[in-house]
Structure 1
Amino acid sequence: MPISSFTKATIFCRFSSTQFFSTVSSKISQFRNRISLANLLQRYGFSPSQLHIFLARNRFLFDHSSVHEIQNSLNVLLSFRIPQAPFISLLFDCPAVLDFNFLKKWQIGISKFGNSGISPVAICSVLALSKRFQIDPDLFLNRVGVLKDLGFNGGVLTRVLERFPRIIMMKEDEICRKIGFLEGIGISRYGIERVFHSFPEVLGFDVENRLKPLLDEFLELGFRKNEIRDEITRDPRVLGMELGEMSRCLGLLKTLKCRVPIKDEIFSEGEFKAGFEVKLRVDCLCKQGLIHREAFKILWKEPRLVLYEIEEIEKKIEFLVNRMKYGVGCLVEVPEYLGANFDKQIVPRYNVVEYLRSKGALEFDVGLKGLIKPSRLRFYNLYVKPYPECEKMFGRVADGAGLQQRHPVGMWKLFKPQKHTESKEDVNNMKSFMEPLV
């Protein structure tokens, strides 16, 4: 019997209506699941901003997992006594670790370790690695035994597992080659423990293609073997230098034009340490968003940075970007900012300029150069003296301060007072150590 058009329309409407209500019901259920999951994660330490990012990245959690199952997984994780910061970091880096069956298996496995001395943070690192590479708890227990036989005891073992958990995937002979390399340059057993504790990442470096060529470079630069040994023992991060990096850092130091006392202080503990200190500050600047060429240029123009603590440099850049709202690239043009005293120069001058801007007293943009480069007396005369209310935030300049010499005679090389431009010799010097960075 043929179906009439009216019957077809009725069937279609009923089907569409059923499909529509099914879709709406599914969305409502998903929304409720999302709210329940958000409340659950907030109880386990997630901030509102972290929740928004985490749930947006991991929609599979409320599409295919029940809130009850996730809560069970979180309870197992908490049984490992992982601190809150590593706990949240683990979930961000490896949300798949919330697999309940995986965690239950590891809970049983870790209970076999007993009082092994392995820290909760180390367990956190191992769990993330194990989930990614499907590593069994029994294999991990076996690898821990091997490491203990090789001398990885106490704090060294837990430190290595925290920072370089991939060691549990390495073969025993690979680890032995690293130990043999360090013994070959005269580092004692205690010194080797210090190296692995301070810089566990060295265990991931290839001996033939990375460590031996680096040692050869140090020797070719004229450093004695016992000097290299002592520097590695003092700061094992030396082994993290790239090939050619020490040569570029020493090239920078040899072309510096600065006061003799500053240069003497830079080299006070030897050329090797001076070159490594340059590397650390280049890494710090690059971490903030600069490229290597820019970082080297800033250090060349402001050599005092080699003497400043990394934390101090980072604090100034954080203030520059987050408070002053400048891009980090402006440091290439005004490297003096990083050489200025934070509490006595940068903050007071910024406060004065911001106050005058808020009162409408400035008809022009001062800019970073105008904020940092003027002398204290000139800045005072320009922005503070006409506005007595600014003296409290800036500090008064004593009468006759402008007549005092800033440094004893002979401390500075004589330069013309006009705007500084690099001479042909300066440009050639910079090219000599920056050429490999092109």
Structure 2
Amino acid sequence: MVPKFLIARLSLSFTHHRSTHFQLLQPKHNAILLFFNSFTSGTSSDSESDGNHPKGDTFTVSYLINSCGVSPTVAKELSKRVNLKTPDGPNAVLDLLNNYGFSKTQLAKLVMRHPFVLGSNAENTLLPKLKFLQSIGVSNSDMPKIVINSQHILFRNLEKCLIPRYEILKSVLRDDGEVVRALKNAPFAFTYSGVVNYLVPNIEVLRQCGVPQGSISYMMIHCGSVAYRNHSKFMEAVNTAKEIGFDPLKTAFIVAIEMLLTKSKETWESKFGIYERWGWNREMALRAFRKFPGVMKLSEETFTKKMSFLVKDMGWSPEDIAEYPVVMGYNLEKRIIPRFSVIKILISKGLLENDVHFSGIICITEENFLEKFVINFKENLPLLPNVYNSLINAQSVI
């Protein structure tokens, strides 16, 4: 459970969010002023017009091109949102970000998405946020990705917003390492206003269902946005997953919730239509989904290619595949086709019985497969290793 004082603290930050926003509109917070100015007249009273572009913006455009690496066209568009007077402030910002792992390409991307960062006070506004992220384990290689993909993380209040949300995530996960991995998956986690209203009760529901911490960590790290969904919809997905027959003690329960929340009813019906064309009725499809929820992630093209090979080329029945749908989760060109082709060759030569189970072919390690089905038959079929390697390395098999 999240301590009550944290919830109260975070709630207070929401209550004062509006007043905090206006407090930020002080001269020392140039970034917010510049962002605000983007909604007002972009031309000062003493600017002289040169065609469609004010002469007063010449420095801004030049700086964006030469120092930030954006194209002239993009620079002209960005100059409507940010107006730079001297290079001192922006240079300090770029130097600071460079010290925290930003490459030239990443700096350009950040500026294109959030040009008002150039007007920030590097020392007072940006540095404390970067130091905080670094203190919880965000590396210089991850810092740019998180900052670029999180719209407000450098501009939200550290004490009232970022730290309280970090403490909540820390209570949901096991350590700072997992917090950082979750943040990489869902960079908005430190700034999203629904942390208390959605994330906290959603996690509590999972814990009440007996979902182990490992599965909760898996959700936050691999499909983090799901945890922040509307609480009533999240509850509905949890109940549906249980009705279908998913075990809350297994990670597949989390994957099922993800599929139920991210796929619309229309998508589900479309999927059922595709499955039916390949011999799966609704009951079989739900059984396959229960055994391997990842099957729902497959596009129609991918599903069709895999079924076509397994049914038409290998002769497996749709019922057999529905009983062991995990086979559909493996790479078609690099694993399914090479391995099953070897099995087909061995069966055709009478060297292998036609009753080898999917799991004994597709799920074993590459080393074990080679030993059991390739090297073991090298005396009878000397070219089999070459055939197998050619299948794996083929650019297009089908």
* Counterparts of 1:80 and 1:89, CA distance in 2: 15
* Counterparts of 1:306 and 1:235, CA distance in 2: 22
Contact 2:181-2:221 at 8 Å conserved across structures: yes
Match of 2:158 in 1: 137
1:39 correspondence with 2:59:
no
Match of 1:408 in 2: none
- How far did 1:207 drift? 2.4
Match of 1:303 in 2: 304
TM-score scaled to structure 1, two decimals?
0.47
Contact 1:191-1:233 at 8 Å conserved across structures: yes
Match of 1:175 in 2: 199
Match of 1:199 in 2: 223
Question: Secondary structure at 1:129's aligned position in 2?
Answer: coil
* Counterparts of 2:264 and 2:219, CA distance in 1: 20
Question: Secondary structure at 2:182's aligned position in 1?
Answer: helix
- How far did 1:214 drift? 2.2
Contact 2:172-2:203 at 8 Å conserved across structures: no
1:104-141 Cα deviation digits (max 9, x unpaired): 4230344356632124146515863246xx52122212
Match of 2:98 in 1: 78
Find the partner of 1:214 among 225, 228, 237: 237
Match of 1:158 in 2: 180
- How far did 1:201 drift? 0.5
Q: Which amino acid aligns with 1:163?
A: N
Question: Secondary structure at 2:225's aligned position in 1?
Answer: helix
* Counterparts of 1:111 and 1:163, CA distance in 2: 20
* 5+ long unaligned stretches in structure 2: 1-46, 310-331, 334-398
* 5+ long unaligned stretches in structure 1: 1-20, 283-297, 309-339, 342-438
Match of 2:86 in 1: 66
TM-score scaled to structure 2, two decimals?
0.51
Match of 2:118 in 1: 98
* Counterparts of 2:134 and 2:166, CA distance in 1: 13
Contact 1:217-1:243 at 8 Å conserved across structures: no
Q: Which amino acid aligns with 1:55?
A: A
1:46-84 Cα deviation digits (max 9, x unpaired): 5xxxx2343132123674443443222212222322355
Q: Which amino acid aligns with 1:128?
A: Q
1:70-107 Cα deviation digits (max 9, x unpaired): 22221222232235555433322222222222764230
Q: Which amino acid aligns with 2:304?
A: P
1:234-262 Cα deviation digits (max 9, x unpaired): 6774354335357415522442147x9xx
Q: Identity of aligned pairs, percent?
A: 12
Match of 2:288 in 1: 270
Contact 2:102-2:144 at 8 Å conserved across structures: yes
What is the aligned residue count?
A: 258
Match of 2:357 in 1: none
Match of 1:377 in 2: none
Higher Rg: 1
Match of 2:299 in 1: 281
* Counterparts of 2:295 and 2:111, CA distance in 1: 35
Match of 1:412 in 2: none
Structure-2 change in CA distance of 1:230 and 1:165 (3 Å):
closer
Q: Which amino acid aligns with 1:232?
A: F
Q: Which amino acid aligns with 1:157?
A: V
- How far did 1:158 drift? 1.2
Find the partner of 2:246 among 225, 232, 238: 225
Contact 1:58-1:95 at 8 Å conserved across structures: yes
Contact 1:147-1:157 at 8 Å conserved across structures: yes
Structure-2 change in CA distance of 1:207 and 1:123 (3 Å):
same
Match of 2:147 in 1: 124
* Counterparts of 2:104 and 2:180, CA distance in 1: 18
Find the partner of 2:74 among 25, 41, 54: 54
Contact 2:241-2:253 at 8 Å conserved across structures: no
Match of 2:13 in 1: none
Question: Secondary structure at 2:67's aligned position in 1?
Answer: helix
Contact 2:138-2:180 at 8 Å conserved across structures: yes
Contact 2:212-2:249 at 8 Å conserved across structures: no
Q: Which amino acid aligns with 2:295?
A: E
1:325-354 Cα deviation digits (max 9, x unpaired): xxxxxxxxxxxxxxx99xxxxxxxxxxxxx
Find the partner of 2:214 among 169, 190, 199: 190
1:364-402 Cα deviation digits (max 9, x unpaired): xxxxxxxxxxxxxxxxxxxxxxxxxxxxxxxxxxxxxxx
Structure-2 change in CA distance of 1:32 and 1:183 (3 Å):
closer
* Counterparts of 2:157 and 2:296, CA distance in 1: 43
Q: Write 1 or 2 for the structure with the bigger share of helix.
A: 1
